[in-house]
């Protein structure tokens, strides 16, 4: 009940924010939307399936570089096409990687995803002619729903049409994910998480389901990646770096992985927290490390766990 009411208030606040005349705060939420989409996917893998990926930034970078290649090199400026292409590319890449990774669970799965993430980082870093190396690739401002919006300056574009577009993508992503989690497929994933052997004996194709979850997570990651690089205007190799994957896991733990909206809350709070702590001290990484430790030790269900006390009591 509280969560629902707070959710409605937060939703209304997000819709009204661009009208409040606080452009910086509005632009600040753009990466949060991108991360939230990616985390919804990552949580299907972790929260639902019980597989913790330490290389999910690979797919964010894949989305980012797809956006850069399409807008910068091939002149495709339609964001819908870019999102579609990013999803396709991510799915294509995720299938072979997933086939290898889902043969393992726990730390072995984590290490393998980490390895693939770093492999992709090295590829981005080393293949100068193709990827621009450390300098990355520019992402040009995309058209939204076929409208070029060239009359708007960047701040107006980002805090107006692009803000609502990204929010819209997040809402659609959340609805799709909600449907997925509640579907028989979602139930299969949860049963695999709880007891893979038992699930298999019930006739659930464990590896197939894990692979499907991996591919869906990758697609969400790439879509999040596209939303992430448009405001920056650059796709760079650090997007694929392992610390970025670590940040994703941090956000997930912060928000709470056992609640459907935990990842969204995690992304929002992480971004707002990072913004304020970074301005206060150059030792913000230390502060973040301490926060992570406190969460893992004292609040393993994250912020959503705090909010949703009723469920905590029930579980």
Partner 1 sequence: MRLTRRRFLKLTGVGAVAAALPLDVVPVLAQSGPVRLGILAARAGVLAPVGESGLRGVQFATDRINAAGGILGRRLELIVEEESSPKDTVERFRKLALSDKVDAVSGAISTGVGLALGPAAEEMKTIWLAWDATTQKGVEESMPKPKYSFRSTDNECEAVMASILTARHWKGKFKTVAGINPDYSYGRDNWAAFLAIMKKYGIEAQVVSELWPKLGATDFTSHVATLIQAKPDLIFSCFWAGDTPIFMKQAHAAGLTKSTKVVLTTGGGVHESLKKDFTPEGAILGYNCFYFENPKASALAKEFTRWHAEKFKEWPNYESDHGYFTVVAFKAAIERAAKAAGGKWPTQDAIIQALEGVEAESLSGPRRYREDHIMEAAFFQGVTTHRNRHDFVTIDPVESMSTKQIQKPSGVGLYDWINGWKV
Q: Rounded to 5 degrees, what are φ and ψ at 301?
A: -95, 10
- Report the nearest approach of partner 1 to the CB of residue 115 (Å): 17
Q: Which of residues 246-285 bind partner 1 (CB under 8 A)?
A: 272, 275-276, 278-279, 282, 284-285
* Residue 146 CB, nearest approach to partner 1 (Å): 22
Stretch in the footprint of partner 1 (CB under 8 A) among 106-114, 135-143, 171-179, 212-220? 135-143
Site string for partner 1, 234-253 (x = CB under 8 A): x-xxxx--------------
Least distance CB 177 / partner 1 (angstroms): 24
DSSP bridge pairs for 235: 137
Rg (C-alpha) for the chain, rounded Å, is 19
Interface of this chain with partner 1, residues 293 to 312, rule: CB under 8 A: 306-307, 309
> Which among 136, 135, 128, 140 has a CA at the least distance from the CA of 75?
140
**Member of 54, 116, 125, 260 binding partner 1 (CB under 8 A):** 125
CA dihedral over 196, 200, 202, 204, signed as positive or negative: positive
Spatial separation of the C-alpha atoms in residues 65 and 75, rounded to whole Å: 14
Nearer to partner 1, 28 or 91 (CB): 28
The interface with partner 1 within residues 148-187 (CB under 8 A) comprises: 153-155
CB of residue 27 to partner 1, shortest distance in Å: 5
Question: CB within 8 A of 255, min separation 6: which ones?
Answer: 39, 261, 262, 263, 264, 265, 266, 267, 269, 270, 302, 303, 304
Rank residues 50 and 225 by Cβ distance to partner 1 and give the closer one.
225
- Judged by beta carbon, residue 129 or residue 197, the one nearer partner 1 is 129
- What's the closest the beta carbon of residue 304 comes to partner 1, in angstroms? 13
CA distance 196 to 106: 12
Q: Please report whether residue 117 would count as binding partner 1 according to CB under 8 A.
A: no
Number of H helices, E strands in the chain: 16, 2
- Interface with partner 1 (CB under 8 A), residue total 43
Distance of CA 107 to the CA centre of its chain: 21
Of the candidates 22, 252, 39, 240, the residue with the CA atom closest to the CA atom of residue 131: 240
Cα–Cα dist 292/139, whole Å: 32
Q: Which of 112, 130, 132, 138 is nearest to 245 (CA)?
A: 112
Which CB sits closer to partner 1, 40 or 61?
A: 61
Of residues 197 and 313, the one with the C-beta less far from partner 1: 313
Using the minimum distance from each CB to partner 1, give the nearer residue, 34 or 98: 34
Out of 135, 145, 198, 289, the only residue in the binding site for partner 1 (CB under 8 A) is 135
Minimum distance between the CB of residue 69 and partner 1, rounded to whole angstroms?
A: 15
Q: Is 143 helix (H, G, I), strand (E, B) or coil?
A: strand
Interacting residues with partner 1 (CB under 8 A): 2, 6, 21-25, 27-28, 31, 125-126, 128, 132-136, 138, 153-155, 228-229, 231-234, 236-239, 272, 275-276, 278-279, 282, 284-285, 306-307, 309
């Amino acid at each position: 009940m509280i969560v629902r009411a707070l959710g409605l208030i937060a939703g209304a606040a997000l819709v009204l924010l661009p009208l409040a005349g606080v452009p910086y705060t509005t632009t600040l939420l753009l990466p949060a939307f991108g991360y939230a989409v990616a985390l919804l996917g990552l949580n299907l893998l972790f929260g639902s399936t019980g597989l913790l990926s330490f290389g999910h930034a690979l797919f964010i970078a894949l989305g980012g570089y797809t956006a850069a290649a399409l807008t910068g090199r091939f002149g495709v400026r339609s964001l819908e096409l870019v999102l579609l292409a990013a999803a396709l590319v991510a799915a294509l890449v995720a299938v072979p990687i997933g086939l290898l990774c889902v043969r393992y669970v726990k730390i072995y799965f984590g290490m393998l995803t980490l390895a693939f993430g770093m492999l992709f980082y090295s590829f981005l870093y080393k293949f100068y002619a193709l990827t621009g190396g450390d300098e990355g690739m520019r992402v040009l401002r995309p058209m939204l729903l076929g409208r070029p919006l060239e009359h708007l300056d960047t701040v107006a574009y980002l805090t107006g049409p692009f803000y609502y577009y990204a929010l819209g993508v997040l809402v659609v992503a959340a609805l799709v994910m909600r449907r997925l989690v509640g579907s028989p497929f979602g139930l299969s994933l949860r049963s695999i998480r709880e007891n893979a052997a038992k699930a298999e004996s019930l006739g659930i194709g464990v590896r197939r389901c894990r692979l499907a979850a991996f591919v869906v997570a990758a697609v969400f990651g790439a879509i999040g990646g596209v939303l992430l690089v448009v405001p920056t205007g650059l796709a760079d190799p650090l997007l694929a770096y392992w610390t970025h994957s670590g940040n994703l896991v941090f956000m997930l733990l912060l928000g709470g992985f056992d609640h459907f909206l935990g990842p969204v809350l995690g992304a929002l709070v992480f971004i707002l927290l990072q913004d304020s702590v970074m301005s206060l001290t150059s030792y913000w990484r230390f502060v973040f490390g301490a926060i992570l430790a406190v969460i893992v030790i004292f609040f393993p269900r994250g912020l959503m766990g705090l909010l949703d006390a009723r469920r905590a009591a029930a579980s």
